[in-house]
Structure 1
Amino acid sequence: MVRYGKEHKLETRQRIIDTAGRRLKRDGIDGSGVATLMKDAGLTNGAFYAHFASKEDLVATVVVDQLRDQCERLAAVEPGREGLEQLVRAYLSPEHRDSPEEGCPSAALLDEIGRCEEPTRRAYTDSVLAFIDDIAARLAPHDPPSARVKTLGVYALMVGTLQLSRAIADRQLSDDLLEQGIRNAFAALGLPQRG
């Protein structure tokens, strides 16, 4: 029997999380069984329980990981309100709409997360609030908590707009919805309306 070091186990775990993140966002939580998730990672079912206690444990871990990645992407955009404008435009873009497996876990999984067990919903809540608080700090640098609820509302607007744009079969209507979502988010955030 081959023994792997701790680093190998951590790399394998992260590979499972990364591939599961893409699959879950593309096919949903209920549409992605453990066998499929492990096959995507190039592993057998038997290896799953060396890394996760249950599928629910994996889902919670994926959600936290995906939202942490979202926070890191936010940190990479310009500071202040200029960065918010970039974020809104990228979030409500046709590219994001057309690539759910590479995008926001909220837009792809929100309805299913709401039906998950308490630990998964708690992990989601804590992670999404970290993202929201980063945005609120850009809106109100001297008092970020004052902008938290407003920011959460704008995030909900953006997530819902993206979800609806993915569901609409009429491509032009979907594109128009994304553009209107940008205008709505800019208005709610107090950002200038530019062409």
Structure 2
Amino acid sequence: MAWNNEHKKKTREKILTSAARLFAQNGFDHIGINDVMKDAGLTRGAFYAHFSSKAELYAESIITAAMSTGRKTDPLNPEAPSFDGLLKTYLSMEHRQGNLFRCPLAFLTTDITQRDDQVRDAYTRVFKGFVNNLDKHSVQQNGTKDTIRSMQQAVMLIGGLAIARAINDDELAKELLSSCHAALATPTI
């Protein structure tokens, strides 16, 4: 008996949710299809009904992770915090540790450079969306779009978090995140 479309959709979402979390936490090379499927509570055989390769899964999981992150931090989301709240959430020790969410832009920065175009395209789309959301927030705040400033903000957010994750000194990481927050909270970078 064939599964109905709703079951297939939910199974695919379950796989993507597991993959998004596991890849962001461990990177592409340290997570296998078996790991993702086990975490999703499924068998490896179910994988190929939804994805043709691990790379395809990785690319789609980047978008899934970003959408999941975006709900919590998107400044345009009516339930999202103010821009300052966004900074506090994104540039927090909890985010650094992956307790709140795992932004694929910061968590996978160095991993992406080693991947194929399909994966890099997904990362690029997510980055453009991130900058676009910052642009829209800027327009809401001051009525003008400033893409250069939004790109600078994106780089400081993503880079600050990525470096804070890379260093093993918690106090230095806190200071770094706080410094990024202070710089972004001021009118100009």
TM-score class, shorter-chain normalisation, is 0.7 to 0.9
Q: Deviations over 1:116-143 (max 9, x none)?
A: 2112212221222122112111213444
User: Equivalents in 2 of 1:172, 1:67: separation in Å?
Assistant: 28
State whether residues 25 and 101 of structure 1, in contact with CA within 8 Å, keep that contact through their aligned partners in structure 2.
no
In structure 1, stretches of 5+ residues that fail to align are none
Alignment size in residue pairs: 182
The normalised TM-score by structure 1 is 0.85
Using the alignment, how far apart are the partners of 2:119 and 2:92 within structure 1? 28
State the superposition RMSD in angstroms: 1.8
Report what 1:42 is aligned to: 41
Identity of aligned residues (%): 30
> Residue in 2 aligned with 1:77?
80
Letter in 2 for 1:65: T
* Offset, 1:69: 2.5
> Does the 8 A contact of 1:25 with 1:100 survive in 2?
no
**Alpha carbons 1:157, 1:181 under 8 Å: kept:** yes
SS of equivalent to 1:160: helix
Give the superposition deviation at 1:100. Answer: 6.3
TM-score by length of 2: 0.88
Give 2:9's aligned residue: 10
1:86 aligns to what SS in structure 2? Answer: helix
Cα distance, 1:111 vs. partner?
1.3
Structure 2's unaligned 5+ residue stretches are: none
In the alignment, does 2:169 pair up with 1:170?
yes
Q: CA deviation at 1:169?
A: 2.1
Find the counterpart in structure 2 of residue 184 from structure 1.
183
Distance in 2 between the 1:112 and 1:101 partners? 21
After superposing on structure 2, the runs of 4+ consecutive aligned residues of structure 1 that deviate more than 6 Å are none
More helix by share: 1
Counterpart CA distance in 2 for 1:104 and 1:55 is: 20
Instruction: Indicate the SS of the match to 1:31.
Output: coil
The answer to whether the Cα contact below 8 Å between 1:19 and 1:40 also exists between their aligned partners in 2 is yes
Corresponding residue number in structure 2 for 1:31: 30
1: CA distance, partners of 2:11 / 2:92: 32
Partner of 1:125: 124
User: Structure 1 residue 96: deviation in Å?
Assistant: 0.6
Distance 1:72 1:104 in 2: 11
